[in-house]
Structure 1
């Protein structure tokens, strides 16, 4: 699948804003600690990915009632759904100069019902061959996402026959529908109802 940059300038995928707030002290400190333990930018990107994937539980998996959306809040409260965890990973990557985009998939149940949009991150490393999607959602007994620059190893492989899709657009800021769901919901059930079914 060919990924499409929403913004023409790569600098847009390094910017800080109120969601991907990599100018926040906690984000900068976390990034600096992970960077100090990494031998190069490739090792740092993997470390940031694994940190978000493995140390911040997906709130639905953990039964956590909190709803967060800002990257620094995800790191501080150590919870979030896929969109929020993607914001945190994008912030950590951008904090060390790695361009990071937000991207999405449309997923369904095994019978094609209950569609929902799932959030991912794409990153671009120096000297690399373009963008590489990563899924920091968090693994379970049935899901095994891994950091990979040589073929995607996402939590979900879309099934077009069920109406699932990989959206090719790389967003510098969260998609408005995804961000709205996080901002309007104050508990997990409200969040489930607010999640977009398509972009």
Structure 2
């Protein structure tokens, strides 16, 4: 592993994988996994399927970091991506965060969507996974061969897939979460 990949294993304020609740979930997922690749898939499916997206359930709870997503049992894509990164990093798997700028459904600007990057050591490559959570018209899947993300980019609406790889949640998003009393008031209408 090179120095660049090592930064994708570091603990951060939002990717707080040494928190006991994260460690408990890591141990549970390890017991259910037959290999590292199977662990990645199990962690992905857990975050995607077992942690509801706050907007989908109209929860006002603001989960600001990975451990809070587990404790609160809900989060938006920004912090769900932190949770998946924490579960992977805690097991020695490099993981990061990637972004898309998506058109809002109310035609009022764009929103920032977060998903994950994961280094698959078995194949020596980075892939992207989107654990946002599936619902009607939103369907993401675990795949190491082709991306199956929640949102296909609609360039005619000015949407952008940055195809980037960051070792932590963007500081602007962290500040928005810190300053929000309700997740339903959270918005990020800027380009990264």
With normalisation by structure 1, the TM-score equals 0.91
Q: Secondary structure at the match of 2:43?
A: helix
Q: Deviations over 1:152-177 (max 9, x none)?
A: 00000111221111113211111112
Aligned to 1:94: 89
Aligned to 2:111: 116
Aligned to 1:3: none
Query: In the TM superposition, what is the alpha-carbon distance from 1:129 to its structure 2 partner?
Result: 4.1
Aligned to 2:183: 188
State the alpha-carbon separation in 2 of the partners of residues 18 and 80 from structure 1. 16
State the alpha-carbon separation in 2 of the partners of residues 79 and 112 from structure 1. 26
Aligned to 2:152: 157
**RMSD of Structure 2 on Structure 1 (CA):** 1.7
Aligned to 1:144: 139
Task: Kindly indicate whether residue 9 of structure 2 is the aligned counterpart of residue 14 of structure 1.
Answer: yes
Task: Kindly indicate whether residue 75 of structure 2 is the aligned counterpart of residue 80 of structure 1.
Answer: yes
With normalisation by structure 2, the TM-score equals 0.94
Q: Secondary structure at the match of 1:46?
A: helix
Q: Deviations over 1:27-61 (max 9, x none)?
A: 11101110111000000000000000111110010
Aligned partner (choices 24, 32, 43) of residue 48 of structure 1:
43
Q: Deviations over 1:69-112 (max 9, x none)?
A: 11011011101100010000000010111100011001004696
Asked whether the 8 Å contact 1:177–1:196 carries over to 2, the reply is: no
Task: Kindly indicate whether residue 56 of structure 2 is the aligned counterpart of residue 61 of structure 1.
Answer: yes
State the alpha-carbon separation in 1 of the partners of residues 68 and 5 from structure 2. 26
Go from structure 1 to structure 2 and tell me whether the alpha carbon gap of 1:186 and 1:111 turns closer, same or farther (over 3 Å shift).
closer
Q: Give the number of equivalent residue pairs.
A: 191
Q: What stretches of structure 2 of length at least 5 have no aligned partner?
A: none
